[in-house]
Amino acid sequence: MGSATAIMAQDPEEVETTPATGTEEEVPVLEDSSEAPIDDVVKKEIMGQRKVLEYQPIRESDIFWEKRIWRIIDVREKMNLPFAYPEEPFFKILSDAATKGDLPVYSTDEDGAKFKKRLSTDDVLSMLSKTDTVVTFDPETYEEKVQIVRNDINWEDVKRFRLKEVWFFDKETSTLQVRILGIAPMIDVRDNEGNFRFEKPMFWVYYPHAREMFARHRVFTMGGNTNATISWEDVFEMRHFASYIYKESNVYDRKLEEYLQGVDLLMQSEKIKNEIFNWEHDLWQY
């Protein structure tokens, strides 16, 4: 009996004890309230880390044919609605990068956009905001007071963009290619009574310098898939936008609207576009 008791006995240090259940409520561990909640399933960071491939180097002697084209992108067209997406409109992307100094912008003094005169940050800020003088009266003393009010340009006022590009034929690869050179937002100029006078470009952005930034900004796709990883660099490189030609390189350096109007202007724009593609087609014999 003594030996059996010794065998069945347990060491006090080896005895496992379990806490009583139902006696105390478990206190939930709260997350750090200093971090803002994520308005999504996961925190999406892939787009912000994207890189772009450099253009394939082209020798000057390989350019067999070249034509410069200027286009207009109207954000009110159905295909261009992502340009006016309220949460992140395309103009806001350009203006924010220009005011922070992350994106160099150039003057519009030369309509051909030669990218010679770079604008400073102060110059850009003066374009994006206007100062008005407002006269008010004190309701008690009836004294006149003059206040200076700053009005920032609303992104909804920018309805069109200019696009400068070069079409060329590379005889090394025997392909017709296009390179975008510049993008310029257009703003309406109005008189003191608010009547429309004319439209003018605000500044020019050199597109090759902006490709890296465009690749890190997501585009809202029309298909409804908000998880689509399409960037603004993809939109321009895949030509996923609607536009019409308003100028081509010519000996007079004039726009189509200087000698054409209405339907004739649009028909001439389509004619120029067809001539570019027909030129490549006519190179080959079947």
For the chain, 286 residues long, give each residue's pLDDT as a single digit of tens. Answer: 444 444 444 454 555 555 555 555 555 555 555 677 888 788 877 777 788 889 989 999 999 899 999 999 999 999 999 999 988 899 999 999 999 988 999 998 765 578 888 998 888 888 887 766 667 777 777 777 777 666 778 888 899 999 999 999 999 998 999 999 999 999 988 777 777 788 889 999 999 999 999 999 989 887 777 777 789 999 999 999 999 999 999 999 899 999 998 899 989 999 999 999 888 888 776 5
Task: Find the helix packing angle between 207-214 and 90-100, rounded to 10°.
Answer: 110
Cβ atoms of residues 255 and 199 within 8 Å: no
Looking at residue 8, its pLDDT comes to: 47
Residue 35 lies in a domain: no
260 in any annotated domain: yes
144 lies in some domain: no
Which of these, 124, 125, 108, lies nearest to 116 by C-alpha position?
A: 108
121-128 and 90-100 helices, crossing angle to 10°: 140
b/e sequence 30-55, b meaning 16+ C-beta within 10 Å:
eeeeeeeeeeeeeeeeeeeebebeee
Q: 201 with 186: CB under 8 angstroms? A: yes
Q: Can you give the residue range of the structural domain that contains 102?
A: 58-127+155-280
Q: How many domains does the chain have?
A: 1
Q: So what's the pLDDT on residue 215?
A: 93
- Residue in 278, 112, 273 with CA at minimum distance from that of residue 201: 112
d(CA 216, CA 178): 22
- Assess if residue 22 is contained within a domain: no
Other C-beta atoms within 10 Å of 165: how many? 20
The whole-number pLDDT of residue 225 equals: 76
176 found inside a domain: yes
Q: Decide if 43 is inside a domain.
A: no
Listed in sequence order, the residues at least 6 apart from 189 whose beta carbon sits closer than 8 Å to its beta carbon are: 196, 197, 198, 199, 200
CA 139 to each of CA 63, 176, 278: distance values in angstroms, whole numbers, following the listed order = 72, 70, 72
Would you say residue 139 lies in a domain? no
Classify residue 215: in a domain, yes or no.
yes
